[in-house]
Amino acid sequence: MPQKPKVAVIGSGYWGKNLVRNLDRLGALAMICDRDETQLAAFRKQLPGVETCLALSDVLARKDIAALVIATPAETHATVGREALLAGKHLFVEKPMALSNADAAELIELAAKRSRILMVGHLLQYHPAFEKLKQLVSDGDLGRINYIYSHRLNLGKIRREENILWSFAPHDISMILSLAGEEPESLLAVGGNVLHQKIADVTTTHLAFPSGLKAHVFVSWLHPFKEQKLIVVGEKKMAVFDDTCPWPEKLLLFPHEITWKNNIPVPSRADPEKVELAEAEPLLLECRHFLECIVEDRTPRTDGQEGLRVLQVLNAAQESLDGRGQRSGIRGQGAGGGDQRVESVSQFTDDHSHSNSAFVHETAVIDHPAEIGQGTKIWHFTHVLKNSQIGENCTIGQNVAIGPEVSVGDNCKIQNNVSIYKGVTLEQGVFCGPSTVFTNVYNPRAEIRKMDQVRPTRVKHGATIGANATIICGVSIGRYAFIGAGAVVTRDVPDHALSFGNPARTIGWMCRCGERLDEELCCRACGLCYRREGTGLRPLDVSMDENP
């Protein structure tokens, strides 16, 4: 392979450290970015030739780094991935590639526009045993495939930021879709909540495909022993991929036969056949594949489209788990950039002002009085405090707190783990990335009440705030401004400004369509050009302008 591209790993914790190890082994690791200084210090001793940093903006500014590998929490994947692609980097993102179908479709579109590689970390697609199994299925050695089922079971690792479906099942869904060669037409998921009232610890997902193929995925982190099996039942042979077995036994073929006697099916058992495999670490093969795709400009085996197909199944399964029954017509849902249609199961009482088409998840809490606009979706464990107003067609993610007395405009998107306190106003079309931090008192003390010192903060029409950014109270963020991930905003941000760093500073300008402007203040994506006006920008085409 020609000279390897330089790669930065974003997130070096539980799984990220394995990516660090393999990319370093391949000679491609140039930088590690993590918020944990202790973790970075350990890597500096272990890998003295590899640079480290705390801020994503430091990575994005490096022109010599061609690609980013993202191993951060799932709720940040879409935001960090978007910023990586906007900065012109190739992108490898761990599963799931995003939490919503719309975000995944946006990443795919952005990668295509930027001519960048987008790959999703569905690791088991690169396992030598699965590669061989897929070849056997493709060559017809197993005959017509009738049934596929997978078991991914263990005692732990128990999570609280996601349920077992999202934690364990993506790899199995990816393998099943790959073997099926088609997308399911219906799905039913059932689960059990043992340790937490609202978080499933055990789920079984049943899939039905147009060809008649059936499949199920059984996952649990409350199992007495580790079990990782994928079983493919064909007319000629049955295959068992058991990743807990030694290499010579990881893939077995069972040439069992079913014969009919007196109109009764009679099984005829045969000894298993061991399939010879080339031993290799799947993650090393996956990382090498990513580098080869960059150098050779070819589509990854698990590209963005493959990641979206898996995500569509995950979201449909989650809907089924949430009590909306069997999901039909899964194929193609969300591929155009929209979420799957969610029926209204609003938990409002008559004390709340709301549209019948608003959706509020059963775990969310809406205080009285509060106003929720038509078409708005409010997801798991979110709390809207009294006297707050949320506009139409907004998406409010998991574990969000809004209020009291907060105004959110129409078409806003607020990602997971964001708190919007009294004094903050979001105008129309504002995007808040995961774990965005707003303050409302400049110098708070736990033992001294200072709510009479609340400083108003306004985020204007169309502005975007990246993951983990902090907005100090009393500032105004201009229209269509773009705040980079991890930035700390301590002063007003002009219209269309691109701001990064701590404290945030203007390093460029952004078009209203979300692309960075060139030196002539023109957008190469949509063709719109701008003029300087005051501290910010205004479109040259006055028909595109708006009143402040």
CB of 464 within 8 A of CB of 515?
no
The rounded mean pLDDT for the chain is 89
Query: How deeply is 40 buried, as exposed, middle or buried, from its count of CB atoms within 10 A (0-12, 13-18, 19+)?
Result: middle
Where do runs of H (alpha helix) occur along 71-163?
Answer: 77-86, 101-114, 128-139
> What per-residue confidence (pLDDT) applies to 542?
59
Burial class (CB in 10 A: 0-12, 13-18, 19+), 534: exposed
**Neighbouring residues of 479: CB distance < 8 A, sequence distance ≥ 6:** 460, 461, 462, 463, 495, 496, 536, 546, 548
Question: Could you report the per-residue pLDDT of 387-440, keeping only the tens digit for each?
Answer: 999 999 999 999 999 999 999 999 999 999 999 999 999 999 999 999 999 998
- The domain made up of 430-548 has a fold known as UDP N-Acetylglucosamine Acyltransferase; domain 1 (2.160.10)
Amino acid, res. 378: I
The per-residue pLDDT for 332 is: 43
Are 205 and 223 a contacting pair, CB within 8 Å? no
Give the torsion sign (CA, 490, 494, 496, 500). negative
pLDDT at residue 64 in the model: 95
| Separation CA 229–CA 244 (nearest Å) | 8
The superfamily (CATH) of domain 125-278+311-328 is Dihydrodipicolinate Reductase; domain 2 (3.30.360.10)
Tell me, what's the pLDDT at 344? 30
pLDDT at residue 156 in the model: 76
How do residues 489-505 score in pLDDT, each as one tens digit?
A: 999 999 999 999 999 99
Report the distance separating Cα 141 and Cα 211, nearest Å.
18
Residues 440, 473: contact at Cβ < 8 Å? yes
- CATH 3.40.50.720 for domain 7-124+283-303, yes or no, is yes
And the tokens for 198?
A: 């609202």
Pairing type for strands 186-192 and 327-328 reads antiparallel
pLDDT in the model for residue 328: 58
Residue in 236, 313, 229, 220 with CA at minimum distance from that of residue 268? 236
Domain(s) labelled CATH 3.40.50.720 in the chain stretch across 7-124+283-303
Domain span(s) for CATH 2.160.10.10 in the chain = 344-420, 430-548
Is the CATH number of domain 344-420 2.160.10.10? yes
Of 372, 359, 375, 374, nearest to 403 by C-alpha is 372
Please report the pLDDT score of residue 314 as a whole number.
95
Query: CB burial class (10 A; 0-12, 13-18, 19+) of residue 81?
Result: buried
Query: CA-CA distances (angstroms) from residue 236 to 37, 140, 154, 176?
Result: 56, 9, 31, 19
**What is the location of CATH 3.30.360.10 in the chain?**
125-278+311-328
Specify which residues 53 forms β-bridges with: 33
Residue 437 contacts residue 455 (beta carbons within 8 Å) = no
Q: Is 74 left (phi over 0), alpha (psi -120 to 50) or beta?
A: alpha
pLDDT below 50 — which residues of the chain?
331-355, 547-548
pLDDT of residue 544: 59
